[in-house]
Amino acid sequence: MKIAVGTDDKKTIRKGYFGESRHYQIIELLNGEIVSREYRLNPYNEETADRHGHGQSEKVLQLLGDCSLFMAGSMGKKSMVKLVERHIDCIITEIEDIDEAVSEYLYGRESAFKYYDAKKGALIPCAQRMASRISPSE
């Protein structure tokens, strides 16, 4: 599994448009352990592209195509929808430090994250997502 995190300083999660991040830290997990980290330069960010980096979301999505989860500090609904269409789950957290956020995610601290539920078209608490996975479908 690979988690993508938008960052400008390679330490904290970016709060603004995900398509304008300077870098994406790609964290590869195997059996619940981090096995590698990679930084991908965003060639479409606001400093290197035209001043409308958020309009480059399709190109950014291609850059992150091998990831299965995107972790963000905030994100617009259109971006979340585009991620989900590419089978990339989207979670939002208030935790700013990337290492801390990934650690909390791995340890199952559901209260620190909200998940974008495409069926509801809204962010829901991760605990609610887990409960819906366990309960029988209607």
Average of per-residue pLDDT across 22-46: 91
Check residue 44 and give its pLDDT: 79
Check residue 73 and give its pLDDT: 92
Closest by CA position to 25, among listed 36, 33, 37: 37
Check residue 60 and give its pLDDT: 83
What would the pLDDT profile of 66-90 be if each residue is shown by its tens digit? 999 999 998 888 889 999 999 999 9
Average of per-residue pLDDT across 98-108: 93
Contact between residue 21 and residue 107 where contact means Cβ atoms under 8 Å apart: no
Distance CA 19, CA 119 (A): 24
**pTM score of the predicted model:** 0.85
Check residue 109 and give its pLDDT: 87
Higher pLDDT, 136 or 39: 39
Average of per-residue pLDDT across 1-23: 91
